Copies of this chain bind each other. A is one copy, B any other.
Amino acid sequence: MLHRTSDPDHNRSVITYAGLGNSVLESAVRAARVACERIDLNGHRGVHPRLGAIDVLPFVPLAGTPLEYCVELAHEAGRRIWEELGVPVYFYEAAATRPERARLEHVRRGGFEGVNEAIRTDPSRRPDIGGPRLHPTAGAVIVGARKFLIAYNINLRTEDITVAKEIARSIRTSSGGFPAVKALGLALPSRGLVQVSMNLTDFEQTPVHVVFLEVVRLAAQRGVEVEESELIGLMPRKAIEMAAAGLLKMHDFQSDRVIENRIESALITSRAIR
């Protein structure tokens, strides 16, 4: 268990845990069992949209694990949740079985209270496994596989919000910027700064330092300096290594130049852990 948050307004808990694939799979199914036994969504209120007692279950690869392995885990978790708990399952992001289900918002539209009606009028809204109706108290579980998301902000030494908004527009995917980047320009009035607030949804495609250098460049064009950057939550080791190598211009750097990585590889080889 690495992290957990609970929030009374959302009336929702986020639990982050890690391990080898089979342990994570088993833990997910056991967590789903407890949640589905204890939580009745008919009496549940909260501002965050949700479809099930376990609402979303994403498997995220770490440390060189391929995303495809997380897709396999997601599909196996979905099969077990239906067979062992009788709760239907939708698959999203990389685990989606149809393109329109890649986006979580699409799958969850209508929420616990509305999806049964949606399914009645539109059979394409049926669960991927189980159903066709939701479980009467636990709803459905949306199981997926996705890459690690880095929440990363860069604060600029100006109070001019248009600078942050223009830079955000230049770098985000939706306006023709870098791939796998979501970005907004925000004011930080208490600090007298503005912020480019980002989600990097594939740091191997668009690394942290590439975004950082571009924001430095775009800010400098406007006569503005970068005050600092900040990481929200956690970041994978590979993103740190890529940032250090990129910013130090170490063009031939590889992870095996880090002595602890080399030790771990030696241990993994000698113990034959998957």
Q: Which residues of A contact B (CB under 8 A)?
A: 1-2, 18, 62-63, 148, 208-209, 212, 226-231, 233-237, 240-241, 243-244, 247-253, 257-263, 266
Chain B residues with Cβ under 8 A from A231's Cβ? 250, 253, 257
A260 touches B63 (CB 8 A): yes
Chain B residues with Cβ under 8 A from A252's Cβ? 230
A209 touches B248 (CB 8 A): yes
Chain B residues with Cβ under 8 A from A247's Cβ? 209, 243-244, 247-248
Chain B residues with Cβ under 8 A from A260's Cβ? 62-63, 236-237
A259 touches B208 (CB 8 A): no
A249 to B233, CA, bound (A): 16
A261 to B258, CA, bound (A): 14
* CB of A273, distance to nearest CB on chain B (Å): 12
B259 touches A62 (CB 8 A): yes
Pairs A-B, 10 closest by C-beta atoms? A247-B247, A243-B244, A244-B244, A234-B259, A237-B260, A228-B249, A240-B244, A18-B263, A229-B248, A237-B258
A257 touches B244 (CB 8 A): no
A241 to B240, CA, bound (A): 6
B234 touches A262 (CB 8 A): yes
